[in-house]
Amino acid sequence: MAIPRTIGRWNKVGLNRVTRRIAPWLPGFGVVEHRGRRSGRRYRTPVNVFPTEDGYRFALTYGTDTDWVKNVLAAGGCRLKTRGRVVRLVAPRLYHDERRRGIRPFERQVLRLLGVADFLTLKAA
């Protein structure tokens, strides 16, 4: 299911401008820096992010068909600003997980309530 696209469009225009400034410092959040696959333009997208053993897992709250996900997949990676650090990420992999494994219990419950079960993993370069 995920969050409806109309909310995503509203966030893209308004809320993301604010969130981009604080997400790199908040636990469970970050900002993905990526390039448009057609325009080449640089973008910064706030995301829900969770560390893994060899990189990071992103909860795709708007689903797999968003521009930032398509851009990261096309480029084969991105940069992530999280917890005050910048990390180069490679080898993107999409997957669906109804059990939401590897997510902390509180966030797992929130994602379950939102109907989010799609994820993107990337490895630290």
For residues 65 and 32, give the distance between their C-alpha atoms in angstroms, rounded to a whole number. Answer: 16
pTM of the model: 0.82
Residue 125 has pLDDT above 60, yes or no: yes
Q: Which residue has the tokens 């219990």?
A: 105
Closest by CA position to 5, among listed 84, 61, 75, 80: 61
Average pLDDT score over the chain: 87
Q: What is the pLDDT of residues 71-80, one digit of tens each?
A: 999 999 999 9
Q: Which residue has the tokens 């969770």?
A: 50
Question: Which domains, ranges and CATH numbers included, belong to the chain?
Answer: 5-13+23-124 (2.30.110.10)
Q: What is the pLDDT of residues 41-65, one digit of tens each?
A: 999 999 999 999 999 999 999 999 9
